[in-house]
A and B are shown apart, each in its own frame.
Chain A
Amino acid sequence: MPSSPNDLLHAPTPPAGHPAPTRGRYAAGVIPYRNMGYWEPDYVPRPTDVIALFRITPQEGVEPEEAAAAVAGESSTATWTVVWTDRLTACDRYRAKAYQVDPVPGTGPGTAQPQQWFARIAYDLALFEEGSIANLSASIIGNVFGFKAVRALRLEDMRLPVALVKTFQGPPTGIVVERERLDKFGRPLLGATVKPKLGLSGKNYGRVVYEALRGGLDFVKDDENINSQPFMHWRDRFLFSMEAVNRAQADTGEVKGHYLNVTAGTVEQMYERAEFAAELGSVIVMVDLVIGYSAIQSMSRWARRHDMILHLHRAGHGTYTRQKAHGVSFRVIAKWMRLAGVDHIHAGTVVGKLEGDPNIVRGVYDTLRESSTAERLDRGLFFDQDWGDLRKVMPVASGGIHAGQMHQLLHYLGEDVVLQFGGGTIGHPMGIAAGATANRVALEAMVLARNEGKDLWNDGAQVLDEAAKSCRPLEAALDTWKDVTFEYESTDTPDVIGTPTVA
């Protein structure tokens, strides 16, 4: 049976190479994407181009250049057939240009994986509206991920030109100003999420907040799904939590905070909740990633107007970031969120209970915290990225971490990070305040030792044992959790030849 002319799997594909548009380029009908101007191997990206790096698993029989061209086409101007209305535009400029495909190491014949390709695609700056993640993402991941000619597709990384970066507000506060407002320098900040995350009344909830803060934490946090349920109305939670915050500030002489989750069904309700938080004197509010990119940008602008730190919980990201063959890598989400403007974002722990290869996590942390990052394939960073003086985002490490891992956490994550010990604070055998004290003492002892030049990687456990001699809560924490580890193979690891990943 002859194949139909619009069936990509069987459409005739001439050999790869620079496609010189022929006289028939705009004749009605279907021609391969690579011949429509979406594959330009000689193209040199301009400094103002957005560049996307996709991992493509083509369907059987589709050549990588054609698959890359199809992705470029479907994420920019193309549709499945030639349209004469292209002739009314400067279409050469608006076409995204796939300009390089490279085989992904460890895939293809002789491996367990079907052949995958890294494709680089450049987009002209004119394709994007200023200051809009919704617009950027609607182009780059809008239609193309359901495209039949690719079996699987993953957006691995993006190079965002400074010209586009500067159209975004970025984090409303940033690491530097957050620390200056809180008067906390030189060490990671400490937090905890209230547990159980659902079911506590406002009064009991505030008790957990108070105990954890007076014991030594800097922050306590609402969980992603605590909003305004029958057991605790949001106003009740805010009032009791701020009572706890103020009591703890009086007890310690330190600035304390509780991330009041203002996530709600509409942006108007979120504004109402956030305004109440500001009226009560909270230094920080939080939203969930599932509220959507535009809602996040709205809340970011609100936070800037109200001198508020904005915490983002990455609820839902695992549905599309975790699997290597298909979806969007978390480093891209991290880049978008730095543009959209959040001050905190959950970004992995390496040693805790949630997914996180050390090199991948390092790449994400660098993306959030550095003024610029250079290409580091072993960390999943495919491009040089200049952030154009956009403020820095504080990464948050949360999920299955405890005081006994303090040296590893400081080693992997550095000091500009919020370490959140939920179970590791609230589950302490001597109580919540003791759990908080154990974490704070372990942290300060470890920073002191690091600054003194001690080798934390090898001697960190001794530093903890030494500190525990004058801190009974730390001793109890170490006894309880010392041997708890989560050693599973990561699913999202860098694919680079010659740099094995040590988990």
Chain B
Amino acid sequence: MRITQGTFSFLPDLTDAQIRRQIEYALSQDWALAVESTDDPHPRNTYWEMWGQPIFDCTQAEVVMREVEACRRAHPDRYLKVSAFDAKSGWETVRLSFIVQRPAEEPGFQLVRQEGPGRLQRYSLRGYACAHPPGQRYPRKAP
């Protein structure tokens, strides 16, 4: 399966040139960029691991690209996303967020059911990869 979180997951994986252009767009809007990673891509997992602080007061897309590269090297087996944060009044939230790396294999989610009274079902999603401890959830990509 392919997890389709993020703004551009239905398109072919973005090239670095495409990622850079989206970062340039975010910078042109005066948004702060952040790089985050996870090995638990449950749709309700709000808090991915931050790769350092969000990058404020940045004007060069190159600076952000270097952080993306560094995070990829540190976590070649994780999902990575770039998020753009807008601190303007009335927003103060993420305005753009897209995946820039995903594991070679995406096993997806099991829909766990628990039969309740009547026809009620209690549903929960369990990532197949999350059967393993953090750090061992996705096979390493061949170097």
Q: Which residues of A contact B (CB under 8 A)?
A: 176, 179-180, 183, 185-187, 216, 239, 242-243, 246-247, 249-255, 279-281, 371, 389, 392, 437, 440-441, 444-445, 447-448, 451-453, 467, 470
Q: Indicate the member of A179, A186, A448 with the most B CB atoms within 10 Å.
A: A186
> Which of B7, B41, B89 interacts with A253 by CB under 8 Å?
B41
- Enumerate 12 A-B pairs (CB-CB under 8 Å) in ascending A order: A179-B93, A183-B43, A186-B98, A216-B10, A250-B109, A251-B1, A253-B3, A371-B89, A441-B10, A451-B22, A451-B96, A452-B22
Contact B109 A253 (CB under 8 A): yes
Interface size on B (CB < 8 Å)? 40
Write out, one digit per residue, whether chain B residues 23-35 have a CB within 8 A of any chain A CB (1) or not (0): 0010000000000
Contact A180 B5 (CB under 8 A): no
Given A247-B111, A281-B123, A448-B8; A185-B43 close (CB under 8 Å): no
* CB proximity to A under 8 Å, residues B68-120: 83-84, 89-98, 108-111, 119-120
Q: Is B21 an interface residue (CB 8 A)?
A: yes
- A-B interface, 9 closest residue pairs, ranked by CB to CB distance from nearest: A186-B96, A253-B3, A451-B25, A250-B111, A186-B7, A246-B123, A371-B90, A250-B109, A185-B97
CA distance A362 to B41 in the complex (A): 37
Contact B8 A444 (CB under 8 A): yes
Given A185-B97, A249-B125, A253-B3; A445-B111 close (CB under 8 Å): no
Chain B contact surface mostly: loop
Chain A residues within 8 Å of B1, by CB: 251-253
Chain A residues within 8 Å of B43, by CB: 183, 249, 253-255
Q: Is B18 an interface residue (CB 8 A)?
A: yes
* CB proximity to A under 8 Å, residues B38-83: 41-44, 46, 83
> Which of A185, A447, A451 interacts with B21 by CB under 8 Å?
A451
Q: Is B136 an interface residue (CB 8 A)?
A: no
> Which of B12, B22, B96, B109 interacts with A470 by CB under 8 Å?
B12
A334 shortest CB reach to chain B, Å: 18
Chain A residues within 8 Å of B83, by CB: 185
User: Given known contacts A180-B93, A254-B43, what 18 new A-B pairs fall within 8 Å (CB)?
Assistant: A179-B93, A180-B46, A183-B43, A183-B97, A185-B95, A186-B95, A186-B97, A242-B121, A249-B43, A249-B109, A250-B125, A252-B3, A253-B1, A253-B43, A254-B5, A280-B120, A447-B8, A448-B18
> Which of B11, B46, B95 interacts with A183 by CB under 8 Å?
B46
Contact B94 A180 (CB under 8 A): yes
Chain A residues within 8 Å of B18, by CB: 448, 452
> Which of A242, A279, A441 interacts with B11 by CB under 8 Å?
A441
